[in-house]
Amino acid sequence: MTTNETHTSLIMIFGATGDLAKRKLYPSLFHLYRKGKLADKFAIIGTARSPWTHEEFRANVKDSVLTALGSNEQIDDFASHFYYQPHDVTDSESYIKLRNLAGELDSKYELQGNRIFYLAMAPEFFGTIADHLKSDGLTETEGFKRLIIEKPFGHDLESAEKLNAQIRQSFAEEEIYRIDHYLGKAMVQNIEVIRFANAFFEPLWNHRYISNIQITSSEKLGVEERARYYEKSGALRDMVQNHMLQMVALLAMEPPIRLSTDEIRSEKVKVFRALRPIEGEEVNNYFVRGQYGPGSIDGEKVEGYRNELNVDPQSNTETFVAGKLMIDNFRWAGVPFYIRTGKRMTAKSTKIVVQFKDIPMNLYKNNHDQLNPNLLVIHIQPDEGITLHLNAKKSGQNMQTNPVKLNFSNEGSNGINTPEAYEKLLYDCLQGDATNFTHWDEVALSWRFVDKISEVWENTTSSTFPNYSSGSMGPDDADKLVEKDGFFWWNVTDLDVEDCK
Ligand SMILES: NC(=O)C1=CN([C@@H]2O[C@H](COP(=O)(O)OP(=O)(O)OC[C@H]3O[C@@H](n4cnc5c(N)ncnc54)[C@H](OP(=O)(O)O)[C@@H]3O)[C@@H](O)[C@H]2O)C=CC1
Ligand SMILES: O=C1O[C@H](COP(=O)(O)O)[C@@H](O)[C@H](O)[C@H]1O
């Protein structure tokens, strides 16, 4: 469901002085404002412990927009909608102050009692805030009330269940918007369109014609200042439980009977239910973990993970995961979905490669032509687009083949598209469209899958860490994982849309 309406709401941001708010949320809100999607009837209340005034807050918001977008047109008008209330999440009294300010702004901007609460804070506070929002009367409102909740949603299934039960005391499932920012990326949203709006893909989209699917999401950055969180999370919880599994679900799901939130989510849930559980001794046959050592990125020397700030020098935390997922249903029987993700790799790149099966016979082999497999490459970031790798005839008087690439480049959006993803998702929430947010059932099933793997990894110290150099594409075992099935990882750095023209 999407419309181009403008929307009226109060947005209350918990964690308003933090990194996410500054780098992603304020620039996204500014974009929406500039595009006329927020109209004049909106107000933002920022809250955190820092004792800022409204003016200091507005100056920070302007600064973050200027830094991210370099734009100052309409910035003063935009910033005038921002208000700040210092507040400690555990202190009941300050929720009363927030409630009073919300009431005042409701009348001033004619917000019809619509409220979005955005929890951009450390996850240990999510439950407490949700409790207070109800007990201190902030959710008693005449309009809609919606809760946007950042990742991670729990640390494992048990903690996620507890958190879910707690927030469900204050919000109904349809009022909860669990963010997975990959679901806001243009080309992730395009997966469904590519599959379900093209006559020639859907008939081929199954085990008869697809040999394997590879999803790579590599980063050049290391752990940066996030070691306190990352040491307990690792790449499996940080990237696989959410973003990687969500992409798998979109690639593997059945066509929904209609494009409604419930129908799409229900098809994704069926994929998670069909995921072959990997546990115990099987884990190391299906999954490979890695941790970066020192190396060089863009010609600059960088430290290994164990030397990063706040990281245990003996850390057993994985900064890289490669895995083979099997979806045990009729459509996907026998087709491996390979995933890999990690920090400090060669390139910042997210790509999906769908490799089709070889044709039954090569008629051109007398010319010693090696036929390349057909590939569909979906470029998620930094370049956005689609490439089809085909075989065509070489020009001239011969019957020789030549690999060719048909390319669609999503012009005008070359870069890391995270702010745009937040913009889309914020707008979806304003519209009450939860399709691109994760339902509790998806979260629960993906934790159930991931927990079995982390159980094994946490109970066995890796004797090989660090096992890949910064600036590489991960440990050798990740290559072996795919090679033992007769495949290899397609080189994502050779597959850029620009290179395919
Ligand atoms: N940063 C990013 O790129 C991403 C972040 N996320 C998620 O977003 C959330 C926020 O992350 P991030 O912005 O990086 O975190 P930060 O540590 O930068 O910000 C935390 C915020 O919480 C406030 N805060 C801390 N303790 C309290 C308290 N007791 N009462 C009230 N406010 C408090 C801090 O402000 P003050 O000190 O003034 O109180 C600050 O505004 C996390 O769940 C994270 O996992 C998800 C994806 C990417
Ligand atoms: O959620 C997260 O995602 C980022 C990667 O996001 P991207 O949009 O830049 O691809 C990752 O760096 C971070 O560790 C993780 O928490």
Mean pLDDT of 90-115: 94
pLDDT (0 to 100) of residue 400: 83
**DSSP 8-state class, residue 297:** E
CA proximity to 349, closest of 390, 395, 382, 389? 382
CA of 16 to the centre of ligand 1 (A): 8
Ligand 1 pocket residue status of 121, Cβ below 6 Å: yes
Residue whose Cα lies nearest atom 39 of ligand 1: it is 49
Over 66-130, what HEC string results? Answer: HHHHCCCCCHHHHHCCEEEEECCCCCHHHHHHHHHHHHHHHHHHCCCCCEEEEECCCHHHHHHHH
Contact predicate 242/180, CB 8 Å? yes
Ligand 1 pocket residue status of 150, Cβ below 6 Å: yes
The ligand with the least distance to the CA atom of 341 is: 2
Ligand 2 pocket residue status of 186, Cβ below 6 Å: no
pLDDT (0 to 100) of residue 501: 38
Ligand 1 pocket residue status of 373, Cβ below 6 Å: no
Band of pLDDT at residue 480, cut at 50, 70 and 90:
very high
- Residue 151 Cα: closest atom of ligand 2: 1
Q: What is the model's pTM?
A: 0.94
CA of 424 to the centre of ligand 2 (A): 17
Contact predicate 143/103, CB 8 Å? no
- H or E stretch covering 246: helix 245-252
- Residue 421 Cα: closest atom of ligand 2: 8
pLDDT (0 to 100) of residue 4: 54
Q: Over the stretch 332-358, which tens digit does the pLDDT of each residue have?
A: 999 999 999 999 999 999 999 999 999
Q: Over the stretch 290-335, which tens digit does the pLDDT of each residue have?
A: 999 999 999 999 999 999 999 999 999 999 999 999 999 999 999 9
Active site residues: 243
Residue whose Cα lies nearest atom 13 of ligand 2: it is 238
Mean pLDDT of 41-55: 96
Ligand 1 pocket residue status of 48, Cβ below 6 Å: yes
Q: Over the stretch 414-433, which tens digit does the pLDDT of each residue have?
A: 455 556 899 999 999 999 99
Please determine, for residue 99, whether its predicted confidence score (pLDDT) is greater than 90.
yes
Is the bond preceding residue 475 a cis peptide, omega within 30 degrees?
no
151 is in an annotated binding site: yes
